[in-house]
Amino acid sequence: MKKAFYSLVTFFAAIPAFAMEETTSGGGYIAMAAGITIGIAALGGALGQGKVGSSAMEGIARNPQAQKEMFVPMIIGLALIESLVIYALVIAFQLVGKL
Protein backbone atom coordinates (compact mmCIF):
# COMPACT_ATOMS: atom_id res chain seq x y z
CA MET A 1 0.00 0.00 0.00
CA LYS A 2 2.84 2.33 0.87
CA LYS A 3 4.51 1.70 -2.49
CA ALA A 4 1.30 2.47 -4.39
CA PHE A 5 0.84 5.69 -2.40
CA TYR A 6 4.37 6.89 -3.21
CA SER A 7 3.90 5.97 -6.85
CA LEU A 8 0.68 8.01 -7.08
CA VAL A 9 2.25 10.99 -5.30
CA THR A 10 5.22 10.89 -7.66
CA PHE A 11 2.94 10.57 -10.67
CA PHE A 12 0.74 13.51 -9.69
CA ALA A 13 3.73 15.65 -8.71
CA ALA A 14 5.29 15.08 -12.14
CA ILE A 15 2.22 16.14 -14.13
CA PRO A 16 2.90 19.91 -13.86
CA ALA A 17 6.51 19.36 -14.89
CA PHE A 18 5.43 17.50 -18.03
CA ALA A 19 2.78 20.11 -18.82
CA MET A 20 5.21 23.04 -18.80
CA GLU A 21 6.05 24.81 -22.02
CA GLU A 22 9.40 24.16 -23.57
CA THR A 23 12.05 26.59 -22.41
CA THR A 24 14.87 27.95 -24.53
CA SER A 25 17.55 27.23 -21.94
CA GLY A 26 18.99 24.36 -24.00
CA GLY A 27 21.85 26.56 -25.19
CA GLY A 28 23.97 25.66 -22.20
CA TYR A 29 23.65 21.98 -22.96
CA ILE A 30 24.61 22.51 -26.59
CA ALA A 31 27.69 24.50 -25.59
CA MET A 32 28.63 21.82 -23.07
CA ALA A 33 28.17 19.12 -25.71
CA ALA A 34 30.43 21.01 -28.11
CA GLY A 35 33.13 21.37 -25.47
CA ILE A 36 32.94 17.72 -24.46
CA THR A 37 32.98 16.64 -28.11
CA ILE A 38 36.18 18.48 -28.96
CA GLY A 39 37.77 17.60 -25.61
CA ILE A 40 37.25 13.85 -25.98
CA ALA A 41 38.32 13.95 -29.63
CA ALA A 42 41.49 15.87 -28.80
CA LEU A 43 42.29 13.48 -25.95
CA GLY A 44 41.78 10.41 -28.11
CA GLY A 45 43.73 11.91 -31.00
CA ALA A 46 46.63 12.89 -28.77
CA LEU A 47 46.80 9.43 -27.20
CA GLY A 48 46.64 7.78 -30.62
CA GLN A 49 49.31 10.01 -32.11
CA GLY A 50 51.54 9.47 -29.09
CA LYS A 51 51.23 5.71 -29.46
CA VAL A 52 51.97 5.87 -33.21
CA GLY A 53 55.03 8.07 -32.68
CA SER A 54 56.30 5.94 -29.83
CA SER A 55 55.91 2.72 -31.79
CA ALA A 56 57.59 4.22 -34.85
CA MET A 57 60.56 5.49 -32.84
CA GLU A 58 60.90 2.13 -31.10
CA GLY A 59 60.83 0.31 -34.43
CA ILE A 60 63.39 2.66 -35.97
CA ALA A 61 65.63 2.29 -32.90
CA ARG A 62 65.57 -1.49 -33.24
CA ASN A 63 66.11 -1.48 -37.00
CA PRO A 64 67.43 1.83 -38.41
CA GLN A 65 67.26 0.57 -41.99
CA ALA A 66 63.46 0.25 -41.69
CA GLN A 67 63.05 4.02 -41.31
CA LYS A 68 62.26 4.55 -44.99
CA GLU A 69 59.56 1.85 -44.98
CA MET A 70 58.00 3.10 -41.73
CA PHE A 71 57.96 6.84 -42.36
CA VAL A 72 55.22 7.13 -45.01
CA PRO A 73 52.72 4.76 -43.31
CA MET A 74 53.35 6.58 -40.03
CA ILE A 75 52.59 9.97 -41.59
CA ILE A 76 49.44 8.59 -43.25
CA GLY A 77 48.31 7.12 -39.94
CA LEU A 78 48.92 10.41 -38.15
CA ALA A 79 46.93 12.27 -40.82
CA LEU A 80 44.01 9.87 -40.46
CA ILE A 81 44.05 10.23 -36.67
CA GLU A 82 44.13 14.01 -36.97
CA SER A 83 41.27 13.98 -39.48
CA LEU A 84 39.00 12.46 -36.83
CA VAL A 85 39.84 15.34 -34.49
CA ILE A 86 39.09 17.82 -37.28
CA TYR A 87 35.72 16.13 -37.89
CA ALA A 88 34.95 16.53 -34.18
CA LEU A 89 35.89 20.21 -34.44
CA VAL A 90 33.48 20.63 -37.35
CA ILE A 91 30.73 18.95 -35.34
CA ALA A 92 31.47 21.24 -32.38
CA PHE A 93 31.19 24.29 -34.66
CA GLN A 94 27.87 23.01 -35.97
CA LEU A 95 26.60 22.54 -32.42
CA VAL A 96 27.70 26.04 -31.44
CA GLY A 97 26.00 27.38 -34.58
CA LYS A 98 22.68 26.11 -33.21
CA LEU A 99 22.90 28.50 -30.22
Q: What is the pTM of this model?
A: 0.64
In a domain, 9, yes or no: no
In a domain, 73, yes or no: yes
Number of domains in the chain: 1
Q: Give the per-residue pLDDT at 74.
A: 93
pLDDT tens, position by position, 17-72 = 676 676 666 677 888 888 888 999 999 999 999 999 999 999 999 999 989 999 99
If DSSP states are collapsed to H, E and C, what string results for 17-81? HHHCCCCCCCHHHHHHHHHHHHHHHHHHHHHHHHHHHHHHHHHHHHCHHHHHHHHHHHHHHHHHH
Domain range spanning residue 45? 26-97
In a domain, 5, yes or no: no
Q: What is the CATH number of the domain that holds 89?
A: 1.20.20.10
In a domain, 13, yes or no: no
In a domain, 54, yes or no: yes
In a domain, 19, yes or no: no
